[in-house]
Amino acid sequence: MNVTVIGLGPMGQAMAGAYVSGGYEVTVWNRTPAKADELVTRGAKRAGSVEEALTASELVVLSLIDYDAMYAILEQAPATALVGRTVANLTSDIPDRARRAAAWLAERGAVQITGGVQVPPPVIGTPEAMTYYSGPKDAIEAHRSALEVLTGIDYLGEDPGLAVLYYQIGIDMFWTGLAGYLHGQAVAEANGISAEQFLPNAIKTMDFRYFLEFYAPRIAAGRHEGDVDRVSMGVASLEHVVHTTRASGVDSSLPAAVLEVFRRGVAAGHGQDSLTSLVDVLKR
């Protein structure tokens, strides 16, 4: 019941805290040592070096800003400090770099299991928390109980890049969706409608479950018939949005960018097809 956590940003703090609360012997390391102070008062051990942090536990959890930070930190220790370690790399980056990191760690005698955490720090350690994982299944199973202290496990396969790929797809949708909300709220406030006043409408509008469940089988089957919606309808609708935005004195660059994608769909011959045909336009 011991684990090392390297990286004590908000996510790393939440993870190390969950292990302390779960009765684990927790070793922590951060480039700014003071970030470990509260955890140390709760019972965690502050490692004096990266080597000490790595050799303290078989399972090492990395929670860093990117893989450049990972290399910069792990290269402070001799390669022998990684031998026999399982590195749960929960650092955000891109799929190819996750694959290269797995190979780099393997050359040094360690095993990487890649993770993409699907929840914000306050949700770590709660029943609804979930993380995408990929990499050697036996390594994940060997440390399942420790990993589940943090979140549930959504295992995707052996490819170490899969967890990062799924994570980045989700982040793509997350930022794009929230940017749409913020833009809509900017238009609302420009017209005297507060965030609290518009909140029920925003929640209803941003609930895409019906549409996702309706469209996903059609996309999978390559069916884009315009029996429910058409790209040309989307163009007309988005033009109204852009005009309303500009009339409200709000920056229209975000809806204008979406309008441009719809116009590209019309130019590609999809004017009478469903908006799902834009998947092919975007892929090209």
Indicate if 243 and 193 belong to the same structural domain.
yes
Number of domains in the chain: 2
Q: Write out the residue range of the structural domain in which residue 78 sits.
A: 2-158
Q: How far apart are CA 45 and CA 56, in angstroms?
A: 10
Q: Are residues 58 and 142 in the same domain?
A: yes
Taken in order 274, 277, 278, 281, is the CA torsion positive or negative?
negative
Question: Counting every residue, how long is the chain?
Answer: 284
Residue 166's CB is within 10 A of a number of other CB atoms, namely 18
Residue 241 has a pLDDT of: 98
Q: How many Cα atoms are found within 13 Å in the side-chain-facing hemisphere of 179?
A: 13
20 within 8 A of 26, measured Cβ to Cβ: yes
Positive or negative: CA dihedral 120, 124, 127, 129? positive
Q: Are residue 72 and residue 114 in the same domain, yes or no?
A: yes
Q: Do 140 and 263 share a domain, yes or no?
A: no
Last residue of a domain, one of 97, 132, 158: 158
Same domain, 135 and 268: no
The reply to whether 153 and 174 lie within a common domain is: no
Instruction: State whether residue 15 is helix, strand or coil.
Output: helix
Residues with Cβ within 8 Å of residue 200, at least 6 apart in sequence: none
In our burial notation (b when 16+ CB lie closer than 10 A, e otherwise), range 233-266 reads bbbeebeebbeebeeeebebebbeebbebbbebb
Assess whether 144 and 115 both reside in one domain. Answer: yes
* Residue 78, number of CB atoms within 10 A of its CB: 13
Residue closest to 160 by CA, chosen among 131, 137, 129, 130: 137
CATH number of the domain at 223, please.
1.10.1040.10
Q: What is the pLDDT of residues 214-258, one digit of tens each?
A: 999 999 999 999 999 999 999 999 999 999 999 999 999 999 999
Rounded CA-CA distance 87/74 in Å is 11
Both 134 and 238 in one domain: the answer is no
Same domain, 114 and 225: no
**CATH code, domain with 76:** 3.40.50.720
pTM for this model (two decimals): 0.90
Q: How high is the pLDDT of residue 284?
A: 77
Residue 167 confidence (pLDDT): 96
What does the alpha-carbon distance between residue 213 and residue 163 come to, in Å, rounded to a whole number? Answer: 23
Which residue in 150, 171, 91 sits closest to 101, CA to CA? Answer: 91
The pLDDT tens digits of the residues spanning 139-197 come to: 999 999 999 999 999 999 999 999 999 999 999 999 999 999 999 999 999 999 999 99
